[in-house]
Amino acid sequence: MPWYAFDSVDDALDATRNFLFPFSWGRWLRLAVIVFFLGGGSVGLNNVTNIPSSIPNDGGAPTMPPPSSGPSPDLVTALSEATGLSPDVVTALGIAILGVLSLIALLSVIASSVMPFVFVDALRTNDVRVRGPFKRRFWKGIRFLLFTIGVTFLFVAPFVLAVAALVFANPNAAAFESFLSGFGLAGLFGLFGVLMVGSVLFGLFMGFTQQFVIPVMIATDSGVISSWRQFWPTLRGEWKQFVVYLLVRFVLQLGVGIATFIVGGILAVIVVLGAVLVGLVVVGAFGGLNAAVGSVAGVVALVILGVLTLLALLAVSLPIKILVQSYFTAYELSVLGSANERFALLPPRPGQGDDGDGATETGDDGDSGDGGPSTRPDDSESDSTNSNNEFTWGDDSTPS
């Protein structure tokens, strides 16, 4: 019996090579935009809840900090004196800045939920576009985001309720010590074990949703829950294949992670050392650090240097992320297509099947499914990577 996880290692490598090369500035710039919002391939929902804790002062009700309605008065006063603006104007500007940052964060979360669909579309058509696929997959991304929030809430809710019960029950020290002694060390280890097992199951569920259910959503044009229902028989029938996939992927991620850490670390050190040298020149030109910080021009120069350093770090890290993201996404699609041809999205390799060359060159879907008419949009009308390598967003003319 062939093991899909092993066979897909080489298939994903070939697919990545055909997807990324020959090099094109337009294609890689669009991939940089997509990978930037992917942020490592998953939607993070850490710190979903923030339970305030307090220590009771005299055995009565727990004291809670008063709600804050704006910036600290001391901070407002300091900023008002430094800028010469009235405290009301400083407060209004602070609220406006917080509102803009909140809006940017919300838009980033939404984009991070849609971009996995855009990236899978790019791999399946061998045609990298941003605007057209983003519009076409927007509501699937929103459904995926809401699904992720709902599942995360269901996972963290029992632990949040347990912590809240301990906080608001307001036990004194003796009662709490009695509770711990009655619960026992074995009980604490058991609770920790339940938490660890739950975390592993939650991670596997969300990982399979990201890696396999999103492609199924594209292949079958259905929602998250419906796609899980369609993927479940494949997962249950080929469970040994997916267990091997998890083991092989772990080894691959370990090796790739070490390599990218070394390469990325070396490049980051070079960038940081260059920024430090330039910073020393800037500080020396102003006559010292205190003089540079004390002048508006010095502060502006240091801020510009910091921004350019961050952009340089981003510029050296994104190509590595593009390579890694392309390979692992191709690997996931190859395993999924091997487990169930209905969900095959990767175009066939050149020479593989009768239409292998056509799938790569003309942007055909390359579906190796049941042979019925394809319901995927035809992305062959315009190639987003033009011959003169000009950068365009690659909007497609296909109907949604």
Please check whether residue 352 lies inside any domain of the structure: no
Please check whether residue 34 lies inside any domain of the structure: yes
Q: What is the number of structural domains in the chain?
A: 1
Average pLDDT over residues 357-376: 39
Would you say residue 194 has pLDDT above 70?
Answer: yes
Would you say residue 316 has pLDDT above 90?
Answer: yes
What pLDDT, on a 0 to 100 scale, did the predictor assign at position 72?
Answer: 55
Please check whether residue 393 lies inside any domain of the structure: no
From CA 109, how far away is CA 180, in angstroms rounded? Answer: 40
What pLDDT, on a 0 to 100 scale, did the predictor assign at position 170?
Answer: 58
Please check whether residue 363 lies inside any domain of the structure: no
Please check whether residue 277 lies inside any domain of the structure: yes
Please check whether residue 70 lies inside any domain of the structure: no
Would you say residue 255 has pLDDT above 70?
Answer: yes
pTM: 0.73
Q: How confident is the model at residue 180 (pLDDT cuts 50, 70, 90)?
A: low
Please check whether residue 239 lies inside any domain of the structure: yes
Q: How confident is the model at residue 172 (pLDDT cuts 50, 70, 90)?
A: low
Q: How confident is the model at residue 56 (pLDDT cuts 50, 70, 90)?
A: very low
Q: Report the percentage of the chain scoring pLDDT > 70.
A: 71
Domain of 324, in residue numbers: 4-42+81-343
What pLDDT, on a 0 to 100 scale, did the predictor assign at position 190?
Answer: 79
